[in-house]
Amino acid sequence: MGPHVIVLPGGSYRRHAPHEAEPVVAWLRGLGLPASVLRYPVDAVHPAQLDAIRAEVRRLRAEGATRVALLGFSAGGHAAGLAALAPGADETTRVDAAILGYPVVSMSDPIAHELSTENLLGPGASDELKRAVSLELLVTPEARPFFVWHTADDRVVPVQHSLLLARALADAGVRHELHVFPNGRHGLGLAEGSGLPEQWTRLAAAWLRSEGWLPRRGRWRRTTGRP
């Protein structure tokens, strides 16, 4: 089966944004990379979403996937990062790479995205629970590679979210790539026609190729361990 990418659309853990779902799968398949959308639960609190993602990773591995990556936007980016970083994963649920677009990263004040936090954790969640799902606090040296992009003037999920994650990845020595574009509204998806942010797909494709996710000379570079 080779590698596979699971796409997780955003929507503040309240809905699934259509433009961050099947169009993204079509782009990945156009690169020659098998992909599918997972519509994780949005009517239940944590850890329902994490459990659903890990179940899908396990299913794909059982069907022969050699590597599994997650690609998520906004709250879906948080879900992808959580599945990649949260403790408790085993060989059947391991995530081999994560691509995050304008992700929600921290659930802690003062930059927490309040709607995503409340939808994920329920009203009145404790500070301890918020920290337990804040990605920047979950990074360890064992984390797999990340590709992250954001826009500097995002007024919905501030760019500080991605900067926090990148700093944590750097401090832990985790291989990662971060791109911050100067302008662009939140929720761009593939960002076609948006100016500079539309470069993210080209940059991500180059990153995927460098990490061995795209076919070379008609064959997959098989890598099952940490790149």
- Segment 138-163 mean pLDDT: 98
Using one digit for the tens of pLDDT, what is the confidence trace for 76-106?
999 999 999 999 999 999 999 999 999 999 9
pLDDT tier at 224, thresholds 50, 70, 90: very low
- What integer pLDDT is reported at residue 1 of this predicted model? 78
pLDDT, tens digit (0-9, with 9 covering 90-100), for 116-131: 999 999 999 999 999 9
What pLDDT sits at residue 216? 64
For residue 223, pLDDT over 50 is answered with: no
pLDDT(221) > 80: no
Answer for the pair 112, 130: CB distance below 8 angstroms, yes or no: yes
**Residue 42, amino acid:** V
pLDDT > 90: what percent of the chain? 91
Strands (E), 175-227: 176-181
* pLDDT of 43: 85
Residue 63 clears pLDDT 80, i.e. is over it: yes
Burial class (CB in 10 A: 0-12, 13-18, 19+), 66: middle
Q: Is the pLDDT of residue 218 over 50?
A: no
State the pLDDT confidence band at 29, using cuts at 50, 70 and 90: very high
DSSP 105: -
Rg of the Cα trace of the chain?
16
Residue 173: exposed, middle, or buried by beta-carbon count in 10 A (0-12, 13-18, 19+)? exposed
What number is the average pLDDT over the span 37-41?
A: 98
- Residue 226: pLDDT band (50, 70, 90) is very low
Does 24 have pLDDT greater than 60? yes
Task: Please provide the CATH number assigned to the domain covering 2-210.
Answer: 3.40.50.1820
Q: What's the whole-number mean pLDDT along residues 119-145? A: 97
